[in-house]
Amino acid sequence: MKSINELVQAAHQNAVSKGWWDEPRSFGEIIALIHSEASEALEDHRNGKLPTEVWFEAKNYDGDIVQFREQVAPDFKPCGIPSELADIVIRVFDACGRYGIDLERAITQKMTYNATRPRRHGGKKL
């Protein structure tokens, strides 16, 4: 299994190879793209999809989108909340690759700190 930082590099290199970094992006745009993936997960939830529900979409010969329960070909697009959550992580990985952030270290540091916090710290309801 690859380390988090290896996944960061793979996600960023894929984005670069697909042309997503041909023109500069602002930090705000990068954060907005991460946010848009979270919004897509919320929309799936609002449309009654379960958090574990996955389906695959492909275009047929007429150009119409057809849904499948299994990914019978690698170019069938995975859809659903799990896929949108994966997109969030992939966009975060891409951003960390762009800026040279050691995400593995940042996660370890933050989880170590979070373990010291009191139960339901901050008193917020949501």
Q: Report the C-alpha gap between 91 and 99 in whole angstroms.
A: 12
Q: What is the count of structural domains for the chain? A: 1
Structural domain contains residue 82: yes
Q: Give the tens place of pLDDT for each residue, 10-29.
A: 999 999 999 999 999 999 99
Structural domain contains residue 86: yes
Residue 87's identity, in one-letter code, is D
Full residue range of the structural domain in which residue 35 is found: 26-114
Count Cβ atoms below 10 Å from residue 122 Cβ, excluding itself: 6
Please tell me whether the overall predicted TM-score, pTM, comes out greater than 0.85 for this model.
yes
Q: Give the tens place of pLDDT for each residue, 106-123.
A: 999 999 999 999 888 887
